[in-house]
Chains A and B, each alone.
Chain A
């Protein structure tokens, strides 16, 4: 290659590079995307996003407010969001968990929607599922986000396996005693199996066992959903933890280190009688079309109360949004109409704003069958419950709480530490985090 050719090639490449890379660098004024278009970002699948595009497009047409969805891969959503916030380029509203909302609000990065909500413009506070807004109130009284997708947790059951073992099917109102008795009988019926598989680490986690304690007349592990100040290890918490340790040791249920990657497929193929997880697993199980009757039962009740899980994801906005009114209009539309339209197509989760959840139920009804009916009934039951527990700690220290669970709680469940020691260490660990 001659020098002339090489120089020409290099020059062309440099020009092409500059030309290509110069394109599209948008505003760098530190604000979120503005300019008359409301931007938003979800962690949903392609199919669900397509449904959102359709309904939000209709909103744009009717309101004259431009709306644009920014892409983010589901699996690495948190990383994507962190980089956008760091670059001060977060969309006008984005999907976030309550814990993310609390953390970002504590850093002063989120817009406070409390005034807009209390004004009653577009959304009414009273129409949110009981307790759902509490997860989004900061200790300072701000509203870090608006709750949207409300996950429920329960038990997918294989009706045939239960019938074969002579065990009553789990249903609304079933108790912790029913749960432990069921898996014991299922184990006896098929000693090689592990009847209860936990797909999601909640049932025997700290918050799950805390719920057991409260449902059976004990105290919760921490004294407050937000801004916890003290930690209590009630005797009922010890009792609950011991029951889980015993069940895991007897191989009646899977332990905390179980790899649940293929558990949905195993359930769909009839290899698991009872699968603990969120209602969203329906999306995977139903598409596998199990060849047996199955259903979904809620979180068990205790002797003192039925304490049900509450986990509302939501939408948050950066503190720097340029046109809060337009963003609020888009969020209000999403809650009242957008979710009804999109969840009808892809029924992923019920909605915390109750008028917006009808579409989810219609989607389930369109799916048809007893399983869909039981999912709808369970969702309604859990959302309406007055006594609720949080599925994960929400205070900023919660980020480090996973380490406490890993070093104290998990070995206890695995039988590597006595229950008393495991609980004491967990309590001390959380107290240390709160005190920091």
Chain B
């Protein structure tokens, strides 16, 4: 017999207990708290290890003799600690002169990158002018053009300008803004309420005043982020110094570092690593000093509403 159901009074159909979906118990309740914590710390430990191991291995090689470096299976602890690598390695490449060169090029480049990117980002974000969106699209689009594409035309330009074997080709481009930094700055500006500018405008402030008095202080995280990133880019730049510099007294550290490596007569890995420890210290120190702002700058991008 088939059950009939009135259209006006729907019958309450009993659902079998087995068909009731179980209430979702949060993972935190299903896994014991201790186990969860242990797993979490284990994961963090493994990630930290994967980050630290190359650095520790670098220090290990820096302390070995070059013969020890090639042992198979490799040994973590040196047979004899060769601390002299930290003196002899840097001495081979005139480390401190190259360090000074690199510092000058990097600091000026970083300043140029910060200044130009923040100004251009401000213009695109806060000033209404015809074609603003087109400019932004062009800048954002140029993110996808590999930098090496411009190497040969730029080299011709610098040759014709007589700027080869100077630091100009290494520094000047930073003063014309970098697409990624402009994008970063523009996105940050977008998160700042418009009423700040409008209040300042009513009080008679111009764009330069708004930029210097209001925007620079409140965009500290983003320009520190740009500073760190541009510092690191300029610090590690190898190709441009290789192409543009000829005189040894103008060389930067990445060029000096490359002279430890040879594909024919044997690489001095111990000197290379010892010098590399010193080479990586300045950006590392800078990052640790400014990491709070760096995290804020990067993190803030996720909160942009438009």
Q: Which residues of A contact B (CB under 8 A)?
A: 1, 3, 6, 10, 13, 16-17, 20-26, 28, 43-48, 70-71, 73-76, 79-80, 83-84, 86-89, 262, 264-266, 268-269, 271, 278, 280, 283-284, 287-289, 346, 348
Contacts and interface: CB of A to CB of B under 8 A. Distances in A.
Given A28-B164, A71-B259, A84-B246, 16 more contacts: A20-B167, A21-B163, A21-B171, A21-B172, A25-B165, A46-B92, A46-B259, A70-B246, A70-B248, A71-B251, A74-B263, A86-B156, A89-B165, A89-B246, A264-B70, A265-B72
Interface residues of B, number: 49
B46 interface: no
Contacts of B163: 21, 25
B258 A86 contact: no
A236 to B, nearest CB: 31
Contacts of B111: 13
Nearest to A76: B242
Given A44-B265, A283-B266, A79 B243 contact: yes
Contacts of B208: 3
B115 A271 contact: no
A269 B67 CA distance: 11
A26 B165 CA distance: 7
A197 to B, nearest CB: 13
B209 A3 contact: yes
B92 A20 contact: no
A6 B212 contact: yes
Contacts, number: 128
Contacts of B251: 71
A406 B216 CA distance: 55
A20 B250 CA distance: 10
Nearest to B247: A24
Contacts of A348: 264-265
A26 B255 CA distance: 20
Q: Which of A10, A76, A83, A84 has the most CB of B within 10 A?
A: A83
Q: Which of A43, A73, A76 has the most CB of B within 10 A?
A: A73
Contacts of A26: 165, 246-247
B249 A24 contact: yes
B261 A73 contact: yes
A73 B242 contact: yes
B70 A75 contact: no
A75 B93 contact: no
Contact of B266 (A17, A20, A287): A287
A83 B151 CA distance: 10
Contacts of B305: none
B262 interface: yes
A71 B70 contact: no
6 contacts: A1-B212, A17-B171, A20-B108, A46-B93, A74-B258, A283-B265
A98 B142 CA distance: 41
B70 A265 contact: yes
B268 interface: yes
Contacts of B250: 23-24
Contacts of A25: 162-166
B104 interface: yes
Nearest to B105: A20
A75 B72 contact: no
A1 to B, nearest CB: 7
Nearest to A70: B246
Given A28-B164, A269-B72, A287-B67, A80 B242 contact: yes
Interface string B37-81: 000000000000000000000000000001100111000000000
A10 B162 CA distance: 25
Contacts of B266: 45, 283-284, 287
Interface in B66-103: 66-67, 70-72, 92-93
A348 B228 CA distance: 43
Contacts of A10: 115
Nearest to A90: B246
B67 A289 contact: yes
A266 B70 CA distance: 8
A205 to B, nearest CB: 17
B231 to A, nearest CB: 15
